[in-house]
Amino acid sequence: MKTSILIVYGIPNCDTVKKARAWLTDHGVAYQFHDFKKQGVPAELLPNWLAQVGEAVLLNRKGTTWRKLDEATRAAVVDDASATALMLAQPSVIKRPVVLWPNGQISVGFDEAGFAARAAL
């Protein structure tokens, strides 16, 4: 899915999202912000995100939200369908930010060198 503008998906109070947004602003890169808390997780995009990076990257198994889930819920995440259901129910379990670049590719998390390379696209 190509887009005319870069879109940053995440939660505004997440430190990594803040770093990514600051980097984009400081480097004059125009972007839209999609707040998972206010706007929800775009269910129609999850299959593409999972196809590009996989649930091992997209699902944050190190975060507080994951650790607070009961063992049965964590154990039930065995494939893309179960990961999708969890991400829709618990948006905070998605590693952030998810960035949709104008070329249709996504990146997950913030890496300054990676952003610099992609922003040059």
Q: Which of 6, 7, 8, 14 is catalytic?
A: 14
d(CA 25, CA 21): 6
Q: Is 84 exposed, middle or buried (0-12, 13-18, 19+ CB in 10 A)?
A: buried
Dihedral of the alpha carbons of 46, 104, 57, 65, in degrees to the nearest 10: -50
> CB-based contacts of 61: which residues, under 8 Å, 6+ apart?
none
Told to judge if 83 belongs to the known catalytic residues of this protein, a careful annotator would answer no
Active site residues: 14
